[in-house]
């Protein structure tokens, strides 16, 4: 999806007569939060767009303004840049806007442009910064550089966001965190997933035999790919691990000792990923996610999901119809649910995925903006 990927319907053009700034954190190679930002940009196509910086491998249309951080070495270290992000969001631009809308997973929700009495600030939150508020969920938060200043960052995060008029959360899980950490209410607007693309695979892809378990995502500790290897061994099914990340070497060592074949697909193209979904018996997802687009993509391909009964999966997976959710870390506990998942008709997951289309997201965003205008 590009910044000019679609022209919204007339009913999806809120704030057309207002000046709008659309804010995002750093813009990386397009992932979940970037997809949200681009889809929001389609709803308010006249908005000025700002990010801290664009990563070197980010492919995005022109028209995005970068902050002063983009010209410094800080762009190469998010951990070192984090303490300066609140200051950056307060010195982003001197332009005045009627509306400022942020897409935030760190400190973008603290952006302050203009007088709060004259500018309405709205924030769509992917999660309160895990590094700051939930380091137990993400080992990146255990960085020694961040540990001494976590309490300071938490206090600043709350104090510098008091001017936000309205929050939206990407899931009920994140809605609960916003309430717990910031003491604020938020409406839930699930993010957009390209379900039409994943469902519309060529016939030969759709007709392939489902013969392996699949794990997809960034290869980092909290995604629990090591547990997926153990689950596949317990179920005596091959495993395909798709993605990339710093845990690669460790995962390859574990795979070499596994009792079942484990194949690695390093950074597959979207087309290849679609093929992998359609060939999987089930997607394994034993991780706590804020929302989780990957399980929705899998379901759009008729692939059931077997994972934890926590976080976003509680909103995207219907147990017994589109997959099975467990409160277990014992690999043996997953064997029977995987066998049951293999018997589910693909029509269930496919129908469920339709709840998370880009059209549904944009309609909900338009309603939110209209309600707050």
Phi-psi category of 15—alpha, beta or left, where left has phi over 0 and alpha has psi -120 to 50? left
Task: Tell me the CATH number at 249.
Answer: 3.40.50.2000
**Same domain, yes or no: 318 and 368:** no
Quick check: is 5 in a domain?
A: no
**Same domain, yes or no: 48 and 184:** yes
**Same domain, yes or no: 217 and 335:** yes
The secondary structure element, H or E, covering residue 234 is helix 225-235
Task: Tell me the CATH number at 108.
Answer: 3.40.50
DSSP string across 301-370: TT--EEEESSTTHHHH--BTTTEEEES---GGGGHHHHHHHTTS-THHHHHHHGGG-HHHHHHHHHHHHH
Quick check: is 91 in a domain?
A: yes
Report d(CA 55, CA 74) in Å as an integer. Answer: 12
**Same domain, yes or no: 145 and 257:** no
- Residue showing tokens 């400022």: 100
Quick check: is 3 in a domain?
A: no
Angle (CA) 169 175 180, round 5°: 135
**Same domain, yes or no: 219 and 261:** yes
Give the range of the structural domain holding residue 21, as residue numbers without chain letter: 10-192+357-372
Total of domains in the chain: 2
Q: What is the pLDDT along the chain (373 residues), one digit of tens a residue?
A: 333 344 455 456 799 999 999 999 988 766 778 889 999 999 999 999 999 998 877 666 668 899 999 899 988 888 788 788 888 998 899 899 999 999 999 999 999 998 888 999 999 999 998 878 887 776 655 666 667 778 888 999 999 999 999 999 999 999 999 999 999 999 999 999 999 999 999 999 999 999 999 999 999 998 999 999 999 999 999 999 999 999 999 999 999 999 999 999 999 999 999 999 999 999 999 999 999 999 999 999 999 999 999 999 999 999 999 999 999 999 999 999 999 999 999 999 999 999 999 999 999 999 999 999 8
């Amino acid at each position: 999806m590009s910044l000019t990927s679609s022209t919204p319907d007339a009913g999806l053009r809120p704030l057309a007569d207002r000046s709008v700034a659309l804010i995002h954190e750093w813009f990386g190679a397009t992932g979940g939060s970037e997809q949200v930002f681009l889809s929001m940009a389609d709803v308010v196509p006249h908005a000025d767009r700002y990010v801290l910086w664009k990563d070197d491998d980010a492919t995005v249309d022109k028209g995005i303004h970068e902050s002063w951080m983009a010209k410094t070495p800080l762009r190469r270290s998010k951990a070192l840049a984090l303490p300066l992000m609140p200051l950056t969001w307060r010195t982003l631009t001197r332009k005045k806007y009627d509306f400022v809308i942020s897409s935030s997973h760190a400190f973008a929700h603290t952006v302050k442009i203009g007088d709060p009495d004259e500018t309405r600030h709205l924030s769509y939150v992917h999660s309160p910064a895990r590094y700051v508020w939930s380091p137990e969920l993400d080992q990146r938060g255990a960085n020694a550089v961040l540990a001494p200043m976590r309490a300071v960052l938490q206090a600043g995060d709350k104090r510098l966001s008091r001017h936000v008029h309205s929050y939206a959360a990407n899931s009920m899980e994140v809605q609960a965190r916003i309430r717990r950490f910031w003491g604020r209410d938020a409406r839930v607007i699930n993010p957009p997933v390209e379900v039409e693309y994943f469902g519309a695979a060529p016939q030969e892809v759709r007709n392939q035999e489902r013969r392996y378990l699949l794990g997809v995502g960034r290869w980092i500790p909290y995604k629990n790919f090591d547990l997926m290897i153990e689950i596949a061994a317990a179920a005596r099914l091959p495993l395909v691990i798709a993605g990339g990340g710093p845990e690669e070497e460790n995962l390859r060592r574990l795979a070499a000792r596994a009792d079942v074949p484990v194949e690695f697909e390093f950074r597959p193209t979207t087309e290849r990923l679609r093929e992998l979904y359609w060939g999987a018996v089930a997607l394994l997802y034993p991780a706590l996610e804020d929302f989780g687009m990957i399980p929705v993509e899998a379901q759009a391909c008729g692939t059931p999901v077997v994972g934890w009964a926590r976080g976003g999966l509680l909103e995207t997976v219907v147990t017994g119809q589109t997959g099975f959710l467990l409160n277990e870390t014992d690999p043996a506990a997953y064997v029977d649910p995987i066998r049951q998942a293999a018997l589910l008709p693909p029509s269930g997951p496919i129908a469920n995925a339709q709840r998370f289309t880009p059209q549904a997201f944009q309609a909900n965003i338009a309603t939110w903006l209209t309600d707050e205008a």
